[in-house]
């Protein structure tokens, strides 16, 4: 397989557009992409014809407007190219400019948070020229996919993409106002993203035997007590043959779709893996990450696996996140978060870092809310993911620079340190500016910032909208100061100094898992929002509402509608977990326990015979203790399940409001945990053959 030959094979790339349309049309298309002109019907008609011919030549029979509603997954409605002439009813293959530009999907079944009534069904999809069309091959055949945004009949945003595209404009305009003061000529500045995706691969035969995995993507029961240290010996280990065959097909699928898949490896937990792409402009990164998740599930099934994208599919072991590596670059590829090699470049770098520090400190609540979900609540704060407290890691050297500036000290540039290994045939290693702090939510890692709190199953669009918007708003504030200054060089120093003095509290380079950090972060006044319900309120503070409105990202009505969807989604997730917990206890676990208890009673009766008892010298004592222990655990499980079922039935009658969400968070979740804890003790108490579904050992340690 030659990567260069297949890469982008199924993408209607810029080069393919150039080859298939007149030069004048192509130049106009490029101008439209840059935002300098509006799309005309003439250009749309020419490009749609070229796109149709290319798609049909490659086997396509249908096309679809591909969009990202507020469901965390994508949506599509397929239409064939087939049409008929009016004259003689002959068949033709039709795809016009109007078909390309606008689609009309039924919007009634997509979440709107009350923006429209169910009977108001009309919605619109509109072509996103910044993201190329592509072909997908699957059981339905070959289909042309056209990336689009999704709005209601009245123009409200019903998707994740439109707000993000708007946020890119915010940070572009603000950055262009700033870079000119650092002698950088640029036509555009775009946020770039590399989204590392973690996932589990579990044999389909095991998943089919577990109702929780089938319906929720995670285990609601399961114990690791018998696995010892093996849960941490998987990291960077040899990739198993079967998984390797999956990865080969997975990579090929992604490369054909133009997804720049780069790195793959075993993650920490057994059966856990990661794929990481090359950096690209954030709107493409969002589209491509959605394709990564969709392709994962599709290709895994072909190999007899189920790909689990849930943040915490297995309790008490490593969960899955999505590391969102974020930076800013000009259209020429100059990275504005590269520390540089001279004082001028270093000053520019510190200036942009200052904007990130201030934005993160002021808008920490919105950042946390953007990555909150019921699944992520289970992951964050564990010893495999950052804590819920937002902070930034800069490393000792970079922090010291800002400390010196804040105290008007002269910065002494350090030469790059070399790590000498003392072995002649191994080269010395240049030491990076910073270490890698895995406990930090937002860490500087050399020429980018890595946001490590992102949940593995969710779209990265909301987080990147918040990053673009908040940092862009601060850069605009800084640009206003520079525009008014008579001494720009001094004003730049003032901004860097003042920002660190006022917002340096957000910088923490230590162990985010430590108890000391919880105390210290509270002393600093940093937010510690450890669940979705508390985090969600941050989106509807006046600070958040005014920010989104000021830059025309979302209206108040749209923000409140998304808040409703967020709370409803949380309640639905917890409710589903609770119902399945109750079902598995009542229909699987309890019958198995009763059967096991009955077998033990028979054995106990046999041991109670006088001759045996005499021979064993009271050997039935162990059985008596075992029976009593099992009987108590069964009683505890019954009581716990009844309490959960009773409270859930009461909450079912309530509307899905924020207040109801708090009850699910603070009452239903602990009740479920109590049931699980008891069941997990029972799992390792009774004979494995009596347990009604595959255990962690079965699924994770048996190929």
Per-residue pLDDT reduced to its tens digit, 352-386: 999 999 999 999 999 999 999 999 999 997 767 88
What is the token pair recorded at 118? 């169910």
Residues 146 and 203 in one domain: no
From residue 564, give the alpha-carbon distance in Å to each of 112, 287, 376, 561, 659: 9, 25, 19, 5, 12
Q: Are residues 92 and 186 in the same domain?
A: no
Instruction: Answer whether residue 559 is part of any domain.
Output: no
- Percentage of the chain exceeding pLDDT 90: 76
- pLDDT tens per residue across span 288-300: 999 999 999 999 9
Distance between alpha carbon 448 and the CA centroid of its chain, in Å? Answer: 18
Q: Are residues 266 and 400 in the same domain?
A: yes
pLDDT score of 492: 96
- Average pLDDT, rounded, for the chain: 90
Find, among 194, 136, 116, 130, the residue nearest to 161 by Cα: 130
- What gap in Å lies between CA 233 and CA 265, rounded to an integer? 13
**Pair 634, 591: CB distance under 8 Å:** no
Residue 108 lies in a domain: yes
**Total domains present in the chain:** 3
Helix axis angle, 621-651 to 590-607, nearest 10°: 160
Q: Which of 8, 350, 331 lies closest to 189 in space, CA to CA?
A: 331
Longest dimension (CA), the chain: 105
Domain of 252, CATH number, reads 3.30.590.10
Report yes or no on 14 lying in a domain: yes
Look up the CATH number of the domain holding residue 148.
3.10.20.70
Mutual angle of helices 282-302 and 161-179, in 10-degree steps: 140
Whether residue 544 sits in one domain with residue 517: yes
Residue 454 lies in a domain: yes
Residues 548 and 579 in one domain: no
Q: Tell me the Ramachandran region of residue 123: left when phi exceeds 0, alpha when psi lies from -120 to 50, beta otherwise.
A: beta
131 CB neighbour count, 10 Å cutoff = 20
Q: Contact, 327 vs 175, CB < 8 A? A: no
Structure-model confidence comparison of residues 23 and 120, the more confident one: 23
pLDDT band at 620 (very low <50, low <70, confident <90, very high): low
Q: Which of 554, 583, 601 is the last residue of a domain?
A: 554
pLDDT of amino acid 330:
97
pLDDT tens, residue by residue, 45-103: 999 999 999 999 999 999 999 999 999 999 999 999 998 777 766 666 788 999 999 99
Same domain flag for 479 and 590: no
Residue 560 lies in a domain: no
Instruction: Give the lowest-confidence range in 76-85, 365-374, 469-478, 490-499.
Output: 76-85
Q: Is residue 422 part of a domain?
A: no
What are 682's two structure tokens?
Answer: 């029972």
Q: Please check whether residues 196 and 297 belong to one and the same domain.
A: yes
Torsion of CA 321, 326, 331, 333, to 10 degrees: -90
Same domain membership, residue 515 and residue 396: yes
Both tokens of residue 236? 């960077």
Structure pTM? 0.93
Given 522, 554, 586, the domain boundary residue is 554
What is the pLDDT at residue 226?
47
What does the pLDDT read at residue 462? 97
pLDDT above 70 as % of the chain: 91
- Is residue 52 assigned to a domain? yes
The pair of structure tokens assigned to 222 is 């399961």
What are the Cα distances from residue 647, in Å, to 583, 643, 662? 15, 6, 13
- Stretch 244-254: mean pLDDT: 96
Q: Residues 392-443: pLDDT tens digits?
A: 999 989 999 999 999 988 765 655 666 565 565 556 555 566 666 778 999 9
Q: Name the nearest CA neighbour of 112 among 541, 582, 565, 601.
A: 565
Q: Are residues 213 and 146 in the same domain?
A: no
Mean pLDDT of 641-653: 97
CATH (domain of 608): 1.20.120.1560
Closest to 314 measured CA to CA, from 361, 264, 270, 367: 270
pLDDT at 472 over 80: yes
Task: Looking at the structure, tell me whether residues 245 and 313 fall in a common domain.
Answer: yes
What average pLDDT does range 175-188 have in this prediction? Answer: 96
Please give the residue range of the domain that contains residue 656: 571-701
Q: Are 273 and 264 in contact (CB under 8 A)?
A: yes
Element containing residue 535 per DSSP (H, E): helix 532-536
- 307/297 Cα distance (integer angstroms): 5
Name the band, by pLDDT with cuts 50, 70 and 90, for residue 316.
confident
Q: Are residues 8 and 99 in the same domain?
A: yes
Residue 199 in any domain: the answer is yes
Q: Over the stretch 190-216, which tens digit does the pLDDT of each residue have?
A: 999 999 999 999 999 999 999 999 999
The last residue of one of the domains, among 158, 176, 197, is 158
Q: Are residues 285 and 412 in the same domain?
A: yes
Instruction: Tell me how many degrees the CA angle 369-375-380 measures, rounded to the nearest 5.
Output: 65
């Amino acid at each position: 397989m030659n990567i260069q030959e297949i890469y982008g094979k199924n993408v209607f790339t810029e080069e393919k557009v150039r080859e298939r349309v007149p030069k004048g049309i192509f130049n106009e298309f490029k101008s439209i992409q840059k935002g300098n002109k509006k799309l005309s019907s003439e250009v749309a008609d020419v490009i749609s014809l070229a796109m149709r011919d290319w798609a049909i030549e490659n086997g396509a029979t249908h096309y679809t407007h591909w969009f990202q509603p507020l469901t965390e997954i994508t949506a599509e409605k397929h239409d064939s190219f087939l049409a008929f002439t009016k004259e003689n009813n002959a068949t033709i293959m039709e795809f016009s400019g109007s078909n390309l530009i606008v689609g009309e999907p039924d919007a009634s079944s997509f979440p709107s948070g009350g923006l429209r009534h169910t009977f108001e069904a009309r919605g619109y999809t509109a072509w996103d020229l910044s993201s190329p069309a592509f072909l997908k091959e699957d059981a339905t055949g070959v289909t042309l996919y056209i990336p689009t945004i999704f709005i209601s009949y009245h123009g409200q945003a019903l998707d994740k993409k439109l707000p993000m595209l708007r946020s890119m404009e915010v940070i572009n305009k603000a950055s262009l106002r700033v870079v000119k003061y650092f002698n950088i000529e640029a036509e555009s500045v775009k946020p770039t993203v590399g989204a590392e995706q973690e996932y589990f691969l579990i044999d389909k035969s095991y998943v089919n035997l577990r109702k929780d995995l089938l319906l929720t993507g995670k285990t609601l029961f399961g114990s690791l007590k018998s696995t010892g240290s093996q849960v941490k010996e998987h990291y960077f280990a040899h990739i198993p043959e079967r998984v390797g065959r999956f990865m080969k097909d997975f990579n090929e699928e992604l490369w054909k779709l133009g997804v720049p898949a780069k790195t793959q490896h075993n993650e920490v937990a057994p059966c856990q893996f990661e794929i990481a792409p090359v950096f690209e402009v954030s709107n493409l990164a969002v589209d491509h990450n959605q394709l990564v998740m969709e392709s994962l599930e599709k290709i895994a099934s072909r190999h007899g696996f189920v790909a689990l994208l849930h943040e915490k599919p297995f309790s008490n072991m490593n969960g899955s996140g999505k590391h969102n590596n974020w930076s800013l670059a000009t259209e020429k590829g100059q990275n504005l978060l590269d520390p540089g090699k001279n004082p001028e470049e270093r000053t520019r770098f510190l200036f942009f870092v200052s904007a990130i520090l201030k934005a993160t400190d002021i808008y920490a609540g919105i950042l946390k809310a953007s990555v909150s979900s019921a699944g992520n609540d289970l992951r964050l704060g564990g010893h495999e993911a950052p804590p819920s407290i937002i902070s930034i890691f800069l490393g000792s050297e970079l922090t010291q620079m800002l400390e010196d500036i804040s105290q008007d000290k002269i910065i002494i540039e350090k030469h790059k340190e070399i790590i000498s290994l003392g072995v002649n045939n191994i080269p010395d290693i240049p030491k990076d500016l910073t270490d890698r702090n895995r406990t930090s939510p937002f860490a500087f890692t050399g020429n980018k910032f890595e946001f490590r709190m992102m949940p593995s199953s969710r779209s990265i669009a909301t987080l990147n909208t918040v990053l673009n918007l908040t940092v862009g708003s601060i850069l605009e504030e800084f640009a206003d100061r520079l525009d008014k200054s008579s001494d720009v060089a001094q004003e730049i120093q003032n901004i860097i100094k003042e920002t660190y003095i006022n917002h340096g509290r957000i910088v923490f380079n230590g162990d985010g898992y430590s108890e000391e950090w919880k105390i210290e972060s509270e002393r600093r006044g940093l937010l510690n929002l450890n669940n979705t319900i508390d985090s969600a309120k941050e989106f509807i503070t006046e600070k958040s509402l005014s920010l989104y409105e000021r830059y025309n990202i979302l209206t108040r009505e749209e923000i409140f509608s998304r808040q409703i969807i967020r709370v409803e989604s949380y309640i639905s997730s917890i409710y589903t977990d609770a119902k399945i917990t109750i079902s598995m206890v009542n229909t699987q676990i309890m019958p198995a326990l009763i059967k096991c208890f009955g077998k033990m009673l028979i054995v106990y009766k046999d041991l109670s015979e006088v001759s045996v008892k005499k021979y064993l010298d009271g050997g039935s004592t162990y059985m008596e203790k075992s029976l009593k222990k099992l009987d108590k655990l069964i009683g505890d499980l019954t009581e716990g399940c009844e309490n959960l079922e009773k409270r859930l039935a009461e909450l079912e009658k309530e509307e899905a409001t924020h207040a109801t969400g708090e009850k699910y968070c603070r009452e239903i979740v602990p009740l479920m945990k109590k049931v699980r804890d008891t069941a997990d003790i029972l799992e390792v108490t009774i004979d494995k053959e009596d347990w009604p579904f595959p255990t962690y050992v079965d699924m994770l340690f048996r190929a």
